[in-house]
Amino acid sequence: MGAGKTSAAKHLSSSLGFQYLRYSLVLADWLAKEPEKRSRLQEIGWEVMAGGKQAELNRRLIAQINPDADAAVDGLRHPIDRESLSDSFPHSFRLLYIESPPALRWERLRGYGRYADHASFQAADSHPVEQQIEALRVSAARVLKNERTLDALYSELDGVLHEFRKEGCL
């Protein structure tokens, strides 16, 4: 949370025409159609993971991907997410892992008014649905350290995509 995943994915969409998909939007459309449930997406996401429904969530997300276009998928949280996307798009899927120190993530999210205080941020950050994210780091094609400005993140992201295209990965 607050590392820059959404900002990076939206940059790819707006500047390079990538299709933008987000796990939380698929989850909301599937299980949280009522407005009061949308505020509980983290808990609903955990119920999906713990209840063995993560494969179905992935199936629903993958069904929305246009195979003839580049896509930016925001919000992978579990190794099965990476496996599902990699299995579905073995020649083109590349996982970018974006990380930032917790203090910086808190400052960013506080600036958006997302959490009332540091304790509520810490509680959300330590929620069980967030605990598998670090396991994705080891299988990432690249790890981006987002500790500076958004423009710096976008520049680094553009450079990585240029490398991927040069390698024939995208």
Other Cβ atoms closer than 10 A to 89: 15
pTM above 0.85, yes or no: yes
Query: Cα–Cα–Cα angle for 56, 57, 62, nearest 5°?
Result: 95
Number of domains present in the structure of the chain: 1
Tokens of 158: 């553009």
Secondary element (H or E) of residue 102? helix 102-111
Amino acid at 22: R
The pLDDT profile of the chain, 170 residues, written as one tens digit per residue, is: 999 999 999 999 999 999 999 999 999 889 877 656 656 888 888 899 999 999 999 999 999 999 999 999 999 999 999 999 999 999 889 999 999 999 999 999 998 888 889 999 999 999 898 999 999 999 999 999 999 999 999 999 999 999 988 887 66
The residue range of the domain holding 122 is 5-167
Taking the CA atoms of 19, 157, 143 and 152 in sequence, report the sign of the dihedral they define.
negative
Q: The CATH number of the domain where 121 resides is what?
A: 3.40.50.300
